[in-house]
Structure 1
Amino acid sequence: MNSIAQITPELLLPVGTREMLEAAVNNGADAVYFGVPHWNARGRTEDFTFDDVRDMIRYARIHGVRTFLAMNVLVFERELQELPEFLEKIISLEPDAFIIQDIGLARLIRAICPNQEIHASTQMTLASAEGVNLVKSIGFNRAVLARELSVKEIAAIKAATDLELEVFIHGALCVSYSGQCLTSENFGGRSANRGQCAQSCRLPYRIFVDGKEFRDTDAQYLFSTRDLCALPKLPELEEIGVNSLKVEGRLKSPEYVAAVSRAYRKALNRIPLDAKDMEPLEVLFSRGLTTGWLDGDNHQELVNGTFSNHHGMVLGQVVKADRGQIIIGLDSAISDAGENACYPQPGDGILFENAALGVSIGSRLYAAQVTHLPHAKRGDPKLLKLEFGRDFDTRQIAVGMQVYRNDSPALERELRKTFTDREQLARLPVHMTLSGKIGGPLKLSVYDTPKNAVEVEADFTLEEARNKGNDADKALRELAQKELSGLSATAYQLKHLDIQVDRGAFIPGKILRTLRQAAIEKLDEKRTEWKVLNPSAEAGKKFLNEIRDKFKSGAASSGAPAANGTTFAKTVSDSKRPIISVLVRNPDQIAALKGLDIDRVIMDFDWGVKYDESLQQIRDLGFAAGMATLRIHKPGESHYLKNILRLCPDFALVRNLGALSILKESGIPLTGDYSLNAANSASYDWLLSQGLTTLHPSWDLNSTQLFDLLENIDGERLELTLHQYMPAFHSEYCAFARALTTGRRFPECGKICTKHKVEILDHKGERHFLQSDAECRNTLFVGKPQSALKLLPRLRTAGVNHFRLEMLTEDAETVRRKVLIYTQAIQGKISIEDAIREAGIQEKYGLSEGQLFNESTWQDRKK
C-alpha cells in the first residue's frame, strides 16, 4: 500500500434538484455531483439551466462543499465538433471537477482548459490499477472505480496508483458493469451510455434450461440487484486510503439524500450508529440492503429475485389476521433493538406480500402497538398489532405473508426540517471583531478560518454617547451582539465577538447591520474565489482540427509493430480488399472455416478451454490466429493476459483498458473492440495512439452517427461487425449460480454454466442466450442477432475494409453456412438482399437490424 497518512475520505452525495443540494449540504456532504445542462447520465433528472448551475456552485462553495458536474455519457462526432463553445461556457461557471466517461470529451476539456479537474466515471469500467494508470495519461485527476470490486481488490489498486480513487458506498447497484450495458438499448431502445437507462434489468424474466422452462426457483426478477449499503465497510475503505465515498441516487428524494448524508457523516465522524440511523435508509427507499461486491461475490445475497421495486424495512411475518387488525411476528432486527426499536407510526405505508403467489397488497396504517398472544412463553418473538381503516379488507391477508414498512410521512417531515428549518441548518462558525476609536472609523473584521479573513469599514465616524457610563457600554455590547449575530439568512453563525471600541462610544443599530451585511457579502466572495482557468473554445476547435487533419494526412495510420517488423495495419489493408475476421466461441467451430474466403479467426473461449491446439489449427488452415481478452480486467486476473503473451498469437482483440495497458508494449498486433466505447474522432485518435491497429466503434452509434465519425477518421482503421448476437449486459453476478444452485461463488456453484444451455425469456416473449466467460462473468446475448449488411456498400465507399462475423453457440455446419453467406455478400458474389434473406433463414429467432438502423431519439416526457 502507498505510504500515506490515513485520510478522512470525502463524502459525495447526488443532486437531482435544488432541494437535494440543500439536503446534502445541510446534512454533512463534503461534495455533491449533478448533471450538466443537456448532458448527464440521468436523463430523467431535472435539467438545470446555466444560471441554476452557477447559483448551485456558489451556494455549495460558500458552505465549503465541492461541486462535480456529471457529463458521463458518450459523445458522438457531430456533437463533439459543436461542444467547444458550450464547454467554455460551462467551465466558466467554475465547477470543482467534471465526471467524464468519454475519452474524447476528456481530451477536449483538457484542450480547452488544461487546469480543469476531471474525474474518470465508473462508466469507463476501470477495475484494475493498469487501467487507472493508463487513463491518468489523459489528464484525469481521479478514477471512479467499477462497483464490482471487493475491498481487497480496491486495496490492491490503491497500492499501485497515485491517482485519487472514488468508490460507491450506497444506493442502487447495476447488474451490469457500467459502460458495458446495452440492455436498455436492445430491449427498450434507450441507451444507458446516453443517460436514458430504461432499467430493463429490473423486469421479470423466465429461465429455460436445455430447452425446458426451469420452475424450481423463486428468482423471477433474475437480474434485479439489492441496494448497496457500505456502512459496515467504511473503516476498511478509510484504512485503504480511498479518497471519495460516493452515494448513488440523483433520481431519489431530498429526504433520502438527507438521511443517507446524516448516517454516513455520523459514521465517518466515529459516532456509533443505532437502529434510528438505519431506519430512514430502509424505509425511504430500499430493495434490501447489502454490501454488494465489497465482501466479494455472493450471488445468492446480491439478488433477491422475488421483487425489483422499493419494499422498505422488513417488519416481520403475519401470524394472525382478524377483521380490522393484523398481528405480525416482528423481525429480529427490530425486536432485538430494545428501546431503539423502530416501530411503524400512524400514516405509514405497510406492504403485505406473498412473492410465491405474486400477491402484493398495501395500505396506510391507522395504529400499531406491541402485543402478545395468550399463553406466550419466554423467548417467543415479539408481536405487533397493526390496525387499518375500514376501507382495507384484511381478508386479503394470509398467515405467513411478509410485511414491510415502505413509507413514512412522519419520518420524511423530520428529515425535511434538516434542510428547511432555519434552526436546524448547518452553519459555519465565524469570529468577529468590532473595532474603532472615537473620532475615527468603525471597522468589522470577520473570519471563519485564518485564510478567509475580511474587513469592512463603515461610512461613519465613531461619536461619543450622550449618556455615558457602564450602562451605556453594556447597552452597546448587547446591541452589537444582537445585530452582528443576526445571521440566520446566511451560511454562518457567530461563535465569538470581540468588541474593541472606545468606552463611551455610540453606534446606531442600523450601522451595525450595514457593517454585518457588507462583511458577510465580502466573506461569501472570499469563500467563492476560484483559480484562474481561462477556458478557450478556440483552443478546443484547434485540437479537433488537428485530429481531423492527422487522420486525413494518414499520420494516424502507422499501426503497431508486428513480430515480423512490418505493421499489422499496413499488411492487412494495402490491397484495399475486405479483411474478414470470424470470432469463434468454442474450438469445434474452427474446422468449419476450412477453405472459406476469410483472413482471421479470433478465439474467445469459455473457462478451462485450451488455446494451444486451436491456435495451431487456425494457422494450419491458413488464417491469422487471434485471441480475445476478457471484457474486464481486475487485480489478480492477469493470468489470462499472460497466456496471450506466452502463446504470442498473430494478433489480440483488446476489450478493456487494463489489457491495453499490459499488451501495448508486447509487440503483438492489437485491435480494439466495441467495449472500449470509442464514439468520436478524439477517442479514436487516443486509443489508436496506444498501439491499436484498428478499432471497433461503440455499439451506441447508429448508422448516421457512424458515418459522421467516418468523415473525420481513417476508415481503414475502423472495423465493424456485420453479424453478431449483441451483448445486452456483462456482469460479475452469475445468474446460473443464483437460479440453478445454492452456491454463493465459484467453486460452490459446481461450474453449472458448463453443464447446461440456458436461455432467458423476456417480457416481450423473446429468448436470449446466457453465457459465462473465463472469469465466471455472465453475458446475456440478445437472441435475435444483428446484421449490418445493408450498410456494406456505404462502408466500403467510406474506406472501411475490416469486417467481423461473431459466432455464439452454433454448431459447425451452421457456422459454415453463415460465414459463407456473409463472405459471398462481402465479395459481391451475391446481392445484399439475398444475403440478408439467407442469413435470416439460419437464425432460430430471426435477424435484427439493431441499433445501427435506429434513428429515433428518446424524449423524456416527464415535463
Structure 2
Amino acid sequence: MYSPELLSPIADFETCLAAVHNGCDAVYVGVPGWNARGRVPDLTRDELQNIIEFCHLRQVRVFFAMNVLVFEQEIRQLSSYLKDLISLGPDAFIIQDPGLGILIKHIAPNQEIHASTQMTLSSLESVQFVEKLGFKRVVLARELNLNEIAHIRKHTEIELEVFVHGALCISYSGQCLTSENFGGRSANRGQCAQSCRLPYDIWVDSVLYPRPAAPYLFSPKDLCALDLVPKLMEIGVHSFKIEGRLKSPEYIAATTRAYREKIDGLSASQSNQQLESLFSRGFFSGWLQGVDHQKLVDGKNSAHQGVLIGKVHKIQNNEVWVKNPAVIPQAGDGCAFVQALHPDLGGRIYHASTAKPNFLILQFARNFPLKKISVGAQLWRNNSPSLEKSIRQSWENTNLQRTVGVQVFLNAQPGHHLSLRLISPTAEVELFDKEKLQKAHNPTHPPWLKDELAKLGSQPFAAQEIKIQLKNQPFLRQKTVRQLRQKALQLLEEKVLKNYPKPAFNPKTYDFHTPNSKHKSEKALLNILLRQPHQLEQISPDLPIDTIFLDYDYGQALEPSLNLIENLGYKTGIATLRIHKSGENKHLKQIIAYNPQAVLVRHWGALSFLQNNMLNASFIADHSFNISNSVSAQWLLNHGIDRILPAWDLNQAQLHDLLKNSPKSRFEVALHQYLPTFHIEHCVFANVLTSASSFPQCKIVCRQHNVEVEDHKGEKHFLQSDAECRNTLFLGKAQSMLRLYDSLRSCGVNRFRIDLLQESAEQAAFKINTYSQAINESISIEEAFKQIGVHEKYGISEGQLFNTTQWQDRKQLKK
C-alpha cells in the first residue's frame, strides 16, 4: 500500500533523535558551509557519519542539503570535498546549482540528487526540463496548489516532494534578493536576513497609507497542512517535507509525530494548539488550497506568537480573568498580552485556576505590570516547559525509542555448538559458541532464556519473534547466551551498514573546460528592456542597440511597439514572466504568435515550452536562472540557450572568474537595472488596498495606483504586478555597472543590457542616450555615471559589485 515518505529537518544529533524516534522516514541535514541555513552550527565529518549510521541502522534515509549557488573558483575546488561527502553514504543530495548536480553525478554516477525548491520548479514543463540533469526527485515550489501538484504528478514519473509544515518564504525560493540588496548577504548562499519579517510602510500615490497595527506586509503565516494530508496522499506526492532546521528538538519531535500519525491514520496524540505553542506565527494552508491574500498575511505579527488562550475579561485583585479559554495553561507557562498599538507584554504564569465555571483565572509575579493590560487584550501562550518536558520523553525514554524488528532463532542440543541467528529486514547473522553443549541434569526449560534473548538494550533492534529449539535437554549457561547475543547484535549492526548501497566512484576527474583566452573583438551593443509602451517614443535610430525587449504588463498591446522597434532598425524581443505554472501558457503563446527575433527567458518551464513550439528565435537566459559557474553555464548553453545573464549574487571578482572560464561572447551583463528583491505569489495590492482574497474580486487595483514600499532604513522601493498577478518589489535605487564596463570589454563581453522600470519617455531616452555615449566613448564612464545618478529618483548605487567581504554568521559555538 502506498505510504508517502515523511521527511524531517535536523541540525545536530539531538534533533536527529527527536525526528527518528517520532517516526520520520528520512531526515535532511545541511552540508557544513554549503546549505541554505547558514545560522545552523556546522557539523563535523564525524558527526555527519554518526548521524548517517544511526539513521541507516533504523531504516531512515539521510539527505545532505547543499542547496546554495556555487561560484566559479569554488566549483573547481569542490571535487575532493564532494567525494569525501559521498563516501559517508548519504542517500541523496538536495541541490540548487545545476553545475553542482553535474559534478556530483560525474564523481558518483549512482549518487541520488534532488532538485531543491530553490530551483523554483513550479510547472510540469520546468520539472521535465531539469530531469535532464539527472534528478530523481524535485522539491516543488511552495506556491503550488493541490490541483497544480496533481497535474504534475499525473504527467511525470519523477518523485515529487512537497512542503507540508513550517515557515513560508514570501518570495519564490531562489528568486529572493532582498537579503543581498538590503544587507549584503545572499539567501542563495544560505545567508537569509529574514527581511520579509521586518515592518514596512506603504505609500499609495505618494501618500503614506496608515497601517500602524499591521506593518508586516511580507510576513506570511506558517504552513500547516495536517488536514490536507489525505488529499496529498491521494494525489501521490512521494515525500512530505517539514521545514525547521533552525527549530528546537521539541518542535521537530512534535511536528514529526503529528504528521506520522496523520499519514498512518492514527488518532492524534497532540492537538494543533500544542504545535502552535512550540512555534507558530499563526497556521494557514499556505497556497495549497489556492491564493487567499487576506488570510496568508494579516500583517500583525512576524515572530512566534503561540496559541491564543482568549481575551482578557477583567482584572481584579491582581488576577487576570479570561472567559471561555481555548487552552488551559499551567503554572510556569510563558504568555504574552497582545494589544493593538502597544508593545506586547510577556511573563510566566505563577498560578492558574479554573475554579470558576467558564473562567480561567491567572496570577503573575508581583512585579508584572498588570496596569498596562487592558480589557479585551489577547492572551497567548508562547512557551510551555511542561509540554516540552513531556515531548522530550519521546526520544529520551528508551521504552519509547524507535527500533527495527528482528527475528531471533536459538538452537541448542548436547554435543553441538550453541547457535544464534538474527534476521533483520536488511541483514542476517548466525553465530556459534566455541564450546559444545553438555546434557543437562535438570530437564526443565531455563526460565530466563526468552527474557535473555529479548534483551537488546540500547541497540537499534527489538525482538519481533523469538523461536527456541532445544533438543535432548542441553545445559545452557545464561552468561554464554548473553555473550553470544551481544556478539550477534554487534555483527548485525555491522552487516546492516555494510549491506547499505555504496557509491560507485568514477575514476576520471571532471574536465573543467577553459575556453581559449583569445576572443574576437566585436562591437559593444546594448539590449534595452522596456516596461511601458511610452518608453519607446523618443528612442532614436542609429544607436548602438541590438535588441529591444518588451516586458509589458497585462493588457498592454505589443504589436504597435514591435512595429516601431522594427522601424527603428533594431531587433525585436519579448520577455517571459518570471514564473511559469502549468497551464499558464497564454503569454507564451502570445510570444510565439508575434514571433520576435529574441526571447528573454526567465523560467525553466517557459524555456521548455518555447523550445518545443518556437524554432527561429534566440533565447537569452535572464538572471533568474541563477547561473554562477561555468559548469551550469555550459550545460544551459548546450540545451538551447544563446546567451546568459549571470546570477545577481556575483560580485565583480566572481563575475570575472565566471567569464574567464566561459565563452564570453555568449554572456550579457546588465549595465543598468532595478534589482528585484521579492518576487511573490502574494498580492500586496489586493491585501492592503482591498478586502479581496484573489483576482478578479480585487478589481485589478494594481492598475489604479502607484505603490511604493518604505523599508526600515527609510528607503523606498517600487512595487509592481505582472500579468499573472504576482508582485515584484524593485529596489528603489538603481544599480549601475558602468565602472566595470572597461574590464568587461577587455575580457570579451560585447552585449550589455539597460533595464527601465517607471521612466517617462524623456527619462528613458536620456538614460539610453547616456549609456550609448559611454560605450561609444563620447563621454567618460565617470561622467555618464554622474549624469545617470542625477536623474534617478532615489539615486544610483553599485550594489554588492565591489563588496569583497564574505558575510560571517554569528553561529552558536558548540560546547
Per the alignment, in what secondary structure is the counterpart of residue 156 of structure 2?
Answer: coil
1:137-216 map, 5 Å:
137-215=132-210
2:422 equivalent in structure 1: 446
Matched, 1:407 2:383: yes
Per the alignment, in what secondary structure is the counterpart of residue 303 of structure 2?
Answer: coil
- Residue pair 2:517, 2:660 contacting (<8 A) in 1 also: no
Matched, 1:632 2:579: yes
Counterpart CA distance in 1 for 2:520 and 2:402 is 67
- Residue pair 1:600, 1:625 contacting (<8 A) in 2 also: yes
1:350 equivalent in structure 2: 335
1:562 equivalent in structure 2: none
1:541 equivalent in structure 2: 510
Instruction: Give how far 1:469 is off.
Output: 2.7
Counterpart CA distance in 1 for 2:356 and 2:548 is 71
- Residue pair 1:219, 1:739 contacting (<8 A) in 2 also: no
Q: After superposing the two structures, state which structure 1 stretch, 383-392 or 700-709, moved more.
A: 383-392
Matched, 1:482 2:451: yes
Determine which of 469, 488, 503 is the counterpart of 2:443.
Answer: 469
Q: Deviations over 1:331-351 (max 9, x none)?
A: 6xx3xxxxxxx4111100111
1:520 equivalent in structure 2: 489
Instruction: Give how far 1:509 is off.
Output: 2.2
Counterpart CA distance in 2 for 1:778 and 1:859 is 31
Instruction: Give how far 1:503 is off.
Output: 4.1
* Paired letter, 1:23: A
Instruction: Give how far 1:513 is off.
Output: 1.8
1:464-613 map, 5 Å:
464-465=439-440, 467-470=441-444, 473=445, 476=446, 478-528=447-497, 529-536=499-506, 539-542=508-511, 544=512, 547-548=513-514, 551-552=515-516, 576-595=522-541, 596-613=543-560
Counterpart CA distance in 2 for 1:288 and 1:644 is 41
Counterpart CA distance in 1 for 2:565 and 2:267 is 62
2:433 equivalent in structure 1: 458
Counterpart CA distance in 2 for 1:329 and 1:615 is 66
Q: Which runs of 5+ in 1 are unaligned?
A: 1-5, 335-341, 374-381, 555-572
Instruction: Give how far 1:237 is off.
Output: 0.6
- Residue pair 2:524, 2:544 contacting (<8 A) in 1 also: no
Counterpart CA distance in 2 for 1:183 and 1:326 is 42
Instruction: Give how far 1:575 is off.
Output: 6.6
Instruction: Give how far 1:228 is off.
Output: 0.1
Matched, 1:250 2:245: yes
Q: After superposing the two structures, state which structure 1 stretch, 231-240 or 317-326, moved more.
A: 317-326
* Paired letter, 1:343: I
* CA shift in 2, pair 1:258/1:532, >3 Å: closer
- Residue pair 1:32, 1:67 contacting (<8 A) in 2 also: yes
1:240 equivalent in structure 2: 235
Q: After superposing the two structures, state which structure 1 stretch, 54-63 or 521-530, moved more.
A: 521-530
Determine which of 644, 654, 671 is the counterpart of 1:695.
Answer: 644
Counterpart CA distance in 1 for 2:767 and 2:109 is 50
Instruction: Give how far 1:500 is off.
Output: 1.0
Determine which of 393, 400, 404 is the counterpart of 1:424.
Answer: 400
Q: Deviations over 1:801-839 (max 9, x none)?
A: 110000001111111111111111112111111111111
Counterpart CA distance in 2 for 1:296 and 1:540 is 47
TM-score norm. by structure 1 comes to 0.92
Per the alignment, in what secondary structure is the counterpart of residue 766 of structure 2?
Answer: helix
Instruction: Give how far 1:216 is off.
Output: 5.2
Q: Deviations over 1:88-124 (max 9, x none)?
A: 1110011100001000000000111111000000000
* Paired letter, 2:349: L
Matched, 1:618 2:603: no
Counterpart CA distance in 2 for 1:503 and 1:82 is 67
Matched, 1:35 2:20: no
1:681-830 map, 5 Å:
681-830=630-779
- Residue pair 2:412, 2:474 contacting (<8 A) in 1 also: no
* Paired letter, 1:142: R
2:64 equivalent in structure 1: 69
Counterpart CA distance in 1 for 2:433 and 2:163 is 50
Instruction: Give how far 1:746 is off.
Output: 0.5
Determine which of 256, 263, 275 is the counterpart of 2:258.
Answer: 263
Counterpart CA distance in 1 for 2:396 and 2:457 is 12
Q: After superposing the two structures, state which structure 1 stretch, 497-506 or 756-765, moved more.
A: 497-506
- Residue pair 1:699, 1:851 contacting (<8 A) in 2 also: no
Give the RMSD, CA atoms, in angstroms: 1.6
Per the alignment, in what secondary structure is the counterpart of residue 516 of structure 1?
Answer: helix
Instruction: Give how far 1:212 is off.
Output: 0.8
Q: After superposing the two structures, state which structure 1 stretch, 483-492 or 48-57, moved more.
A: 483-492
Identity among equivalent pairs (%): 48
Determine which of 8, 15, 23 is the counterpart of 2:10.
Answer: 15
Instruction: Give how far 1:178 is off.
Output: 0.2
Q: After superposing the two structures, state which structure 1 stretch, 494-503 or 826-835, moved more.
A: 494-503
Q: Deviations over 1:619-666 (max 9, x none)?
A: 111111100001111011011111111110111000000011111242
- Residue pair 1:602, 1:627 contacting (<8 A) in 2 also: yes
Q: After superposing the two structures, state which structure 1 stretch, 605-614 or 222-231, moved more.
A: 605-614
Per the alignment, in what secondary structure is the counterpart of residue 353 of structure 2?
Answer: strand
1:291-310 map, 5 Å:
291-310=285-304
1:660 equivalent in structure 2: 607
Matched, 1:433 2:409: yes
Q: Deviations over 1:266-287 (max 9, x none)?
A: 000112437x332321000000
Per the alignment, in what secondary structure is the counterpart of residue 179 of structure 2?
Answer: helix
Q: Deviations over 1:157-210 (max 9, x none)?
A: 111211110000000000000000000111111100000101011000000011
Counterpart CA distance in 2 for 1:481 and 1:223 is 61
Per the alignment, in what secondary structure is the counterpart of residue 539 of structure 1?
Answer: coil
- Residue pair 1:445, 1:454 contacting (<8 A) in 2 also: yes
2:801 equivalent in structure 1: 852
Per the alignment, in what secondary structure is the counterpart of residue 313 of structure 2?
Answer: strand
Q: Deviations over 1:430-483 (max 9, x none)?
A: 22111122111111111233x533212222221223x3232xx2xx2x322232
Q: Which runs of 5+ in 2 are unaligned?
A: none
Determine which of 310, 318, 328 is the counterpart of 2:322.
Answer: 328
* Paired letter, 2:565: I
Per the alignment, in what secondary structure is the counterpart of residue 754 of structure 2?
Answer: strand
* Paired letter, 2:80: E
* Paired letter, 1:687: L
Q: Deviations over 1:477-531 (max 9, x none)?
A: x322232222121112223221112243222222212211222122223332222
* CA shift in 2, pair 1:321/1:651, >3 Å: same
Per the alignment, in what secondary structure is the counterpart of residue 264 of structure 1?
Answer: helix
- Residue pair 1:221, 1:307 contacting (<8 A) in 2 also: yes
Instruction: Give how far 1:606 is off.
Output: 1.1
* CA shift in 2, pair 1:50/1:841, >3 Å: same
- Residue pair 1:91, 1:535 contacting (<8 A) in 2 also: no
TM-score norm. by structure 2 comes to 0.97
Instruction: Give how far 1:429 is off.
Output: 2.3
Counterpart CA distance in 1 for 2:70 and 2:484 is 50
Counterpart CA distance in 1 for 2:496 and 2:585 is 47
- Residue pair 2:166, 2:223 contacting (<8 A) in 1 also: yes
Counterpart CA distance in 2 for 1:761 and 1:219 is 14
- Residue pair 1:345, 1:365 contacting (<8 A) in 2 also: yes
Counterpart CA distance in 2 for 1:329 and 1:830 is 74
1:861 equivalent in structure 2: 810
Counterpart CA distance in 2 for 1:513 and 1:188 is 61
- Residue pair 1:217, 1:739 contacting (<8 A) in 2 also: no
* Paired letter, 2:528: V
* Paired letter, 1:345: Q
